[in-house]
Structure 1
Amino acid sequence: MRILHTSDWHVGKVLKGRNRFEEHTRVLAQVIEIAQAERPDLVIVAGDLYDTAAPTAESTRLVTRALSALRKTGARVVAIGGNHDNGQALDALRPWADAAGIELRGSVRENLGDLLIEGTTAAGERWRLVALPFLSQRYAVRAAEMYELTEAEANQTYADLMARLIAKLSEPFAEPGVVNLVTAHLTMVGASTGGGEREAHTIMGYAVPATVFPPNAHYVALGHLHRAQRVIAPCPTRYSGSPLAVDFGEEENVCSVAVVDVSTDRAAQVRDVPVTSALTLRTVRGTLEQLATVNLPDAWLRVLVREAPRPGLREDVQELLPNALEVRIDPDMLPDRAGARSAQRAGRSPRELFGDYLDSRGNAEDGVRELFDELYDEVSSNQ
């Protein structure tokens, strides 16, 4: 059977104040084109369909239309909730999804069988998929207790609880002659972050070892980390990565979807198919004179300016580079004050403290200190 594995769409993402809806529309249109060309039996969307738990109506329409279009290619479609998604809101779409022939799993529910999806390809090959949405630590404990696994003590780690839950869900994998699949929204120990993930749900106890997956799984389709990569595990395990760079920390990522060919008697073969519809993200640095030579009209830019700070510098840069979404002084231009003693605050006036700050940032612009005095006097008088 053939699987198209994608994740981390993050529809609704705003980058440095810039709405990227048009880019998302193009990206998802290209994902649909890839599905039409590859003719997968199953499409897996491994979480983070949205960038926020409260998506706009426009974002919801885009996601639902994209899922419907993927279903119209003839593939079964399974989508799970990620840490950015509102699981209950996705579950509220279940009546629509069921009517459209789409398997949508926003959160873990009381019915264990709800997370186990089965199907048969047009060629008659049976498959079984454990579809596990993102679970916070709090709900992982509740889920473990709900499924009457071995006693879930409060001091058990998130990894312990996830291992127990996946083991319980994958018990039917013992049946021969069926392609066994898992999809989950998790951080795996040893995997590389993409650069734009939400740190609180990537570290701080959320990383789990690859041993949580059963060795008799034929393929594990992961979401959450935005860089496409294989994970060393007891079974073929992979992140598809995001189909567009979500933030400037991801500018070196190669955006793609994974096309997987797998059967009960053949190891999973994976091809990464590039997705190129979004604008690229680039970091450039230099003086104004050097920046004037930059020619990147099809990229969003982060600009590191190699000049002393001054009023109006940002506006000058954005006049040269209209696609500059982030403008700041190159850290190499700031004074290195490592090891220097911080100024004593006691007994010093606000103007002196502000002067120390300006000195530390290399700002000697005339009139800044005087402007601070005027503002400070105005605020003090109002108080």
Structure 2
Amino acid sequence: MRILHTSDWHIGRTFHGTSTMDALAEVLGALTEQVRENAVDVVVIAGDVFDSATPSAAAYTLLGDALVALHDTGARVIVTSGNHDSAARLGFQARLLRDGIHVLTDPLSIGTPVTVEDADGPVHFFGIPYLEPAIVRQHWPEGDADGRPLRSQAQTMAHAMQLVRAGMRAHEGRSVAIAHCFAAGVDATAGLEREVRQGGLDVVPLSVFDGPDYVALGHIHGRQQLGERVRYAGAPLHYSFGEQHKQRGSWIVDLDSAGLSGVSWLELPVPRRLVTLTGTLAEILSETNVAAHAGDWVCAVYTDVLPQTEPMRRLRESFPYCAMVQHQPDVAAVTDERSYVQRLRAAVTDADRVEAFLEHVREGQGASEAEGVLIRDVLDERVRADALV
């Protein structure tokens, strides 16, 4: 059996105020063609289908079109809910969808698999929706293995995986678990979800996932291999400049009669590249940069000592897709340990006092040559005005 593992579509998310719907539709169209070309039997979507618990009508339309297109390839589709999804709203569609598309959002059904047959027998897919301990602990008053109330993600996921292993014992054959959580061992540079907290209560130990032949995880926006059979696929689009160097794609997972036989990465196209340009504003606006990046999403980090006039307007004249501009002056840090008051007291002339002020507010950078001329002219004018009084 061949499985495609994807996750974190985040239908409806914007990128710096710009809709990503068209770009995502393009990428999901490419993913559908990959499913067809690679003869995929089952597509697994591991949570965060939507970006909001109250998705727009257009978001529902995009999801419906994508699921139907995937189903039309001949593949079965299995979807679980993530922390961004409303399990109730996503699950409401389950009974309206055609045979072969399964939306799993009920925590009470974790131990009941969706079973798909191939030439080697059954493969059981156990869907674990995102589990918020405070909400789902009512379903499992028995608590964890030590009888303690389920108060953390680690405890709750451990209990859910106990239900999965019980389901595996009751259903002979190969098995795949699908979950949406933050597992121990994730590279923190891989594109963490906005709401991921890295405190101990939210980290699920890798040992919790022992048992299934493959564990398809969602919640992290960059691909991750935590073990041969435990992986994150990441998001199909870049949703922040912090993700710009991360590959976008899906895992192709092959099962034979004995279980997991191979996993390979299938890269997705990037509709518009993301790039961060650093330098003075003049350097960023150089002909070389404009020629190379005029069609990219641009984050401009300009290092001029002083803030420049209307930098975003000037950047967008050359980079129509400039989404972010940051001023990070490339100046030496203040080495004078005296307080501002002490430096003022040490100043002899008014020009010295202005210089002390500029150094204080500009991280040690005093007046430039042109500014020095202007300061002297202003001070001289004041002296002349006082002489006429």
The one-letter code matched in structure 2 to 1:119 is: T
Which residue of the partner structure matches residue 371 of structure 1?
none
1:172 aligns with 2:167: yes
Q: CA deviation at 1:304?
A: 0.5
The one-letter code matched in structure 2 to 1:179 is: R
Comparing 69-78 with 22-31, greater Cα deviation is found at 69-78
Give the match's secondary structure for 1:182.
strand
* Aligned CA distance change for structure 1 residues 31 and 310 (closer, same or farther; 3 Å): same
Give the match's secondary structure for 2:62.
helix
Give the match's secondary structure for 1:222.
strand
The one-letter code matched in structure 1 to 2:92 is: A
Conserved 8 A contact 1:194-1:253: no
Q: CA deviation at 1:55?
A: 1.5
Q: CA deviation at 1:214?
A: 2.6
Which residue of the partner structure matches residue 100 of structure 2?
101
Which residue of the partner structure matches residue 160 of structure 1?
155
Give the match's secondary structure for 2:195.
helix
Q: Number of matched residues?
A: 348
Give the match's secondary structure for 1:271.
strand
* Aligned CA distance change for structure 1 residues 335 and 31 (closer, same or farther; 3 Å): same
Question: Within 5 A, what are the aligned runs for 1:53-132?
Answer: 53-97=53-97, 99-108=98-107, 112-113=108-109, 116-123=112-119, 125-132=121-128
Question: Within 5 A, what are the aligned runs for 1:317-328?
Answer: 317-328=315-326
Q: CA deviation at 1:227?
A: 1.3
Q: Deviations over 1:215-255 (max 9, x none)?
A: 3x1111111111112113xx711111111111111011011
Identity of aligned residues (%): 26
CA radius of gyration, larger in: 2
Question: Within 5 A, what are the aligned runs for 1:171-320?
Answer: 171-174=166-169, 178-193=173-188, 196-204=191-199, 205-215=201-211, 217-232=212-227, 236-291=229-284, 292-293=286-287, 294=289, 295-307=292-304, 308-320=306-318
* Aligned CA distance change for structure 1 residues 266 and 161 (closer, same or farther; 3 Å): closer
Q: CA deviation at 1:322?
A: 1.5
**With structure 2 as the length reference, what TM-score do the two structures score?**
0.80
* Aligned CA distance change for structure 1 residues 314 and 115 (closer, same or farther; 3 Å): same
Alignment partners' CA distance in 1, 2:188 and 2:112 = 28
Q: Deviations over 1:21-42 (max 9, x none)?
A: 1111101101101111112221
Which residue of the partner structure matches residue 348 of structure 1?
none
Q: CA deviation at 1:176?
A: 7.7
Alignment partners' CA distance in 2, 1:16 and 1:82 = 23
Alignment partners' CA distance in 1, 2:76 and 2:339 = 62
* Aligned CA distance change for structure 1 residues 343 and 261 (closer, same or farther; 3 Å): farther
* Aligned CA distance change for structure 1 residues 126 and 100 (closer, same or farther; 3 Å): closer
Q: Deviations over 1:250-290 (max 9, x none)?
A: 01101111111013414341111100142121111122332
Give the match's secondary structure for 2:90.
helix
